[in-house]
A and B are shown apart, each in its own frame.
Chain A
Amino acid sequence: MNKTVNQKAWFFVAPVLILVAFNAIVPLMTVVNYSVQETFGDNVFFWAGLRWFEEILRSPRFHDALGRQLFFTGTILAIEVPLGVIIALAMPRKGPWVSVCLVLMAMPLLIPWNVVGAMWNIFGLPELGLLGKTLNTIGFDYNYTRQPGDAWFTLILMDVWHWTSLVVLLAYAGLVSIPDAYYQAARIDGASSWAIFRYIQLPKMKRVLTIAVLLRFMDSFNIYTEPSVLTGGGPGNSTTLLSIDLVKIALGQFDLGPAAAMSLIYFLVILLFSWIFYTAMTRGEEQ
């Protein structure tokens, strides 16, 4: 759509701007403020310069948490995106089952995050949970509170359970927007189902899938509540992702300086990746 230039449009945007600025800029400046100072309590602060940033960037603890975070995000993206597309392709296009599928699939998305964590915590208990008991009965030595591998397995399975539906819904929305005429033309040309997927369905899903990847990337990088309820970052530190580590430092140890510096680095990492995705997405829109 060709838009008219109108500077008065700022008045329409003003309420949003005031509200979000109040909520975003004031806290962000608080974080920046802490990140360059040191405190020993009693509201006495000393200038610390960039010391916290150097310390965080050099600390193995941050590197480990970042590594775990990247591994987590990479793994869930690699599972959820293809799986979501496969399920969307297999879903019915018409008829009463469509609503049933959509409502049931959307269910996990509306469960409070700590309930998701608690639910999987119960589900995976080796003696009391359906998943834990089943795995142990068929011969696996499964205990997510003791073995790091099992904790990771449960964590990733939980996220796949929680968020694959988001990819399904988006991919499905892209698929139903393809007019029937495209398929008819493909049938006349004798196109194989792979060719239909590759040259008709995939290009049509490109934009919604970019949104899916963007949302899944941002949310999985920010994930806090579910793993903290499920494993609390344990056993040991094996599932301590960035947010969990940050909350431990900020609210647990009350080390405001390092926590603030870590917050900013963390935020910048997300910002960088998201900017790349966003640019890719809007470029697709302009074409």
Chain B
Amino acid sequence: MARAKWLIPTIYIIFLMLPIYWLVSMSFKTTNEILGSFTLWPQNFTLENYRTIFTDPTWYNGYINSIIYVTINTVLSVTVALPAAYAFSRYRFLGDKHLFFWLLTNRMAPAAVFALPFFQLYSAIGIFDTHLAVALAHTLFNVPLAVWILEGFMSGVPKQLDETAYVDGYSFPAFFVKIFIPTIAAGVGVAAFFCFMFSWVELLLAKTLTAVAAKPIAATMTKTASSSGYELGLLAAAGTLTIIPGAIVIYFVRNYIAKGFALGRV
């Protein structure tokens, strides 16, 4: 029993990798091979699908757009969340608990409910089809998340740290930037990672709020899927490329990722 324990995670990981393998292997096949016969791995290995993506601006601009709005969103969310999380972790104030729950309710809001009002609101203030629009819309669920995670990490830092710093003559801003933020650097990293992640994977709002100039890669994919019929190889290649940024950032936070999902509360 104890010796066969490694089997369970192994089987689970194989199950996780199978659909990914299928996507990646399909991206190296020619359309003829995909539609013609069932093959477990590419018989006529081709990079044609990737060449199309890297040379056609409608494709690679999708990636650039996605990365721009995800970055804006991450920076914005973490910056505003830092002082708020500090307040929640250190002070009691009128309505703090209600406010905390209200923030959480925004994490619960179905994107489908907000799609149309967001479209109207952002059109009215003239930022429809900009990177800023998507970045702002994604703060709806990322700011509450960042506040939650950071508050969890900050509550783990003893209050004596703050008090010692005041005794040493630090002003609050100096203490916050020079001492406190470096202390919870891991928490900031995790919060940034989660903002990146949820902004990267979301599509409904990103698609609704963009037309041409800021169109995300995911939307380019759905359009290709419906308009040009069965270009599965191209679709698979585009899908494979969307996995790579996630795989890279995950490596950096691997030791903290679980703590982040537990909202800093383990």
Contact = CB atoms under 8 A, between A and B. Distances in A.
Interface of A: 1, 3-10, 12-13, 15-17, 19-20, 23-24, 26-28, 30-31, 86-87, 90-92, 99, 101-115, 118-120, 122-123, 127-131, 133, 161, 164-166, 168-170, 172-174, 177, 207-208, 211-212, 215, 218, 221-222, 224-225, 229, 242-243, 246-247, 250-251, 256, 259, 263, 266-267, 270-271, 274-275, 278
A99 B257 CA distance: 11
B170 interface: no
B182 interface: no
Contact of A20 (B8, B106, B111, B261): B106
Contact of A221 (B103, B110, B232): B110
17 contacts: A3-B91, A8-B93, A16-B143, A24-B109, A27-B121, A28-B117, A90-B9, A99-B255, A107-B16, A108-B20, A110-B197, A110-B243, A112-B242, A119-B20, A127-B38, A130-B22, A263-B113
A24 B140 contact: yes
Contacts of A259: 116
B115 A102 contact: no
Contact of B15 (A28, A86, A161, A242): A161
A274 B70 CA distance: 27
A170 B81 contact: no
Contacts of A128: 34-35, 38, 232
Interface in B222-242: 222, 225, 232, 235-236, 239, 242
Contact of B201 (A28, A113, A119): A113
A112 B222 CA distance: 12
B112 A247 contact: yes
Contacts of A115: 218, 221, 239, 242-243
Interface of B: 5-9, 12-13, 15-20, 22-23, 26, 34-35, 38, 40, 76, 80-81, 83-84, 86-94, 96, 99, 101, 103-118, 120-121, 136-137, 139-140, 143-144, 147, 155, 159, 197, 200-204, 217-218, 221-222, 225, 232, 235-236, 239, 242-243, 245-247, 249-251, 254-255, 257-259, 261-263, 265-266
A12 B87 CA distance: 6
A105 B143 CA distance: 25
Contacts of A120: 19
Nearest to A279: B101
A232 to B, nearest CB: 10
B206 to A, nearest CB: 9
A120 B22 CA distance: 9
B9 A91 contact: yes
Contact of A7 (B12, B93, B136, B258): B93
Contacts, number: 280
Contact of A173 (B118, B144, B155, B259): B259
A278 B101 contact: yes
B116 A5 contact: no
A135 B255 CA distance: 38
Given A13-B99, A119-B19, A263-B113, 4 more contacts: A27-B118, A86-B8, A119-B239, A174-B266
Contact of A266 (B89, B110, B261): B110
Contact of A170 (B76, B104, B243, B258): B258
Contacts of A86: 8
B9 A101 contact: yes
A29 B72 CA distance: 27
Contact of A105 (B13, B38, B80, B136): B13
Contacts of A267: 108-110, 113
A263 B139 CA distance: 20
Given A16-B84, A30-B121, A115-B221, A251 B116 contact: yes
A69 to B, nearest CB: 11
A143 B110 CA distance: 30
A277 B93 CA distance: 24
A111 B107 contact: no
A174 B221 CA distance: 38
A180 B5 CA distance: 20
B250 to A, nearest CB: 5
Across the A-B interface, the 3 shortest Cβ-Cβ residue pairs: A110-B246, A27-B117, A173-B258
A5 B261 contact: no
A250 B116 contact: yes
Contacts of A111: 201, 239, 242-243, 246
B106 A24 contact: yes
Contacts of A215: 261
A28 B108 CA distance: 13
B232 A122 contact: yes
Nearest to A248: B112
A112 B108 contact: no
